[in-house]
Structure 1
């Protein structure tokens, strides 16, 4: 099992995602002889998981069933243990696209936090890329390094426990892209430029407050970055429903017909009073999900 390579069968030692319903999932470390309690009953690892195919429907005792899925960055994002606030798939998808990441890219990230974005970056740059991620908090850095090893992606990532605003990323001239998710990203812009390759690259900063964005944009401009832009990604889900509308009566087929033609033409059969047409329509949400943060992007010019 690896977060960047798919496996067919569940094996002892894997991390599997137990999918309970559309908004609830939980990670499970598969171990022979162990069992996991869910709201639908107990899952026995030796008999219910090991040797089964990922995607299988597993019966939990006598109370219900769940699906056991192969881990992906998206599933990890909705099920990981939160040690910090995390980025979700809506922002993550925009970041990976706007940073122009691809297999083989080298990325610098700070801070690592709970590793939600990190897993998506690793899948995007695998199998030959590398992630240099910096986390200020020692316990969080140690925990995320342990998770990377458990998820079999540790060969693609280097975790450093240091202050990126003072000590930088620990690398020079190697990064194709840099991502900043720290309280004062403007203090790390110079280190981001140092970490990036001479031929250019992209940088992204995530900040919840517009005052942080303003100072970061000023720092980016002072360090010679170009194409500076800030955007906000909001998710708006439309509700699809089926409605029935009465059939309209438009009168004679051709208003320009003469009176004689109308008189000679037999009248159409009368439509029943309940005649209607069924169609699907969408309804916009009455409330839009709240603000998460601003994404500021910039390009390092080729030198």
Structure 2
């Protein structure tokens, strides 16, 4: 695990900097006071605030902040010992999702991108998010609504509100995100005719539907999304949405399935039978002598062949037996090598087939996404007179 010096990145202090998670830097250069993501590996990603007097330390060596200043984001920086390196990356919502402390279950990129697409989020729009949780989705929303949009985020847990407020300040998002401590299921959002979209990640989202409807802009189409782990929650939310005149109600589930790609040789029938014979011979040799004799007898009986004599009746000296065994191993290995090769060699020969295979373990269900649309209010539509 990586560590930092006493006053380095353990507590990131706000600094006067023009860039944030929502605004990219024009010059793409690391400067004193900037936020930088140190990428050591997929499992080891750390956010720091660059300070010319500080040093980042890990098991591979030390990295002086002063050496980072003036480099471009994306630079590969070696340690003082030469035993390791890291990448200096610009902080993005995607990277923050990998780094952030989990105060609650968070949304990941697959769900985030799907939700933002179906809510049709654009720069300049206003949106409600409830609850804030660990703030993973909040960062992505802020970047999408920037520079003139606004996010109203609600969280009922005071400690999570305090932690998220500090992170929004540190990351330069305070002017774009209004965070309030509020139980919206009981007290509502206290917003009227204000937002274009609503996202609800609540235990009982159906209790907030009425208040969400009042918060939508009356003269525009509104989009709402709920994030629920149980189908019973979805059923109750659908009922509430229908009662409040929402239309186009649809439910989706995002599942990630990784595929392993393999290149296999195309063998003739004779080659396939020979390869199977070689594998069978290897399996026999891997068995202890007693089990091997039993295995050979069972195989012979199954094939209705003559029963093989047990090894104790075979008059072969020990040295001669080892010599014969080694000779059989050499012959088998030579034949096995003739039927094997690297994927590149097989591909060059033109006798290959590409297959995909699902790994044994797969990441499963997270939550159901429920989307609905609120048409503009009839009273807010312009009156057209025909002459």
Q: Structures share a fold, TM > 0.5?
A: yes
1:196-221 residue CA offsets vs partner (Å, 9 max, x unmatched): 11133110000111111111111111
Higher strand share: 1
- Alignment-derived partner of residue 122 in structure 2: 102
Contact 1:26 1:80 survives alignment (8 Å): no
After superposition, residues 222-241 of structure 1 pair within 5 angstroms as 222-241=243-262
Contact 1:247 1:277 survives alignment (8 Å): no
- 1:74 CA displacement: 0.7
Give the TM-score normalised by structure 2.
0.68
Over alpha carbons, which structure has the higher Rg? 2
- Alignment-derived partner of residue 190 in structure 1: 210
SS at 2:32 equivalent: coil
Higher helix share: 2
Distance in 1 between residues matched to 2:70 and 2:160, nearest whole Å? 33
RMSD between aligned residues: 2.0
Distance in 2 between residues matched to 1:22 and 1:246, nearest whole Å? 39
- 1:280 CA displacement: 4.1
Distance in 1 between residues matched to 2:39 and 2:268, nearest whole Å? 44
After superposition, residues 153-192 of structure 1 pair within 5 angstroms as 153-192=173-212
SS at 2:206 equivalent: helix
- Alignment-derived partner of residue 14 in structure 1: 34
Query: Of 67, 70, 80, which aligns to 2:90?
Result: 70
After superposition, residues 280-295 of structure 1 pair within 5 angstroms as 280-295=354-369
Query: Of 16, 19, 23, which aligns to 1:5?
Result: 23
Runs of at least 5 residues in structure 2 that lack an aligned partner in the other structure: 1-18, 271-337, 340-348, 378-387
Name whichever of 282-291 and 187-196 sits farther off: 282-291
- Alignment-derived partner of residue 373 in structure 2: 299
Name whichever of 151-160 and 278-287 sits farther off: 278-287
- 1:172 CA displacement: 1.2
- Alignment-derived partner of residue 208 in structure 1: 229
1:126-177 residue CA offsets vs partner (Å, 9 max, x unmatched): 1121111111112221221222222122221111111111222232111110
- 1:43 CA displacement: 2.2
After superposition, residues 259-270 of structure 1 pair within 5 angstroms as none
- Alignment-derived partner of residue 131 in structure 2: 111
- Alignment-derived partner of residue 3 in structure 2: none
CA, structure 1 residues 22+244, in 2 after alignment: closer, same or farther (shift >3 Å)?
Answer: farther
- Runs of 4+ aligned structure 1 residues displaced above 3 Å come to 246-249, 273-276, 278-281
- 1:182 CA displacement: 1.3
The total of aligned residue pairs comes to 279
SS at 2:168 equivalent: helix
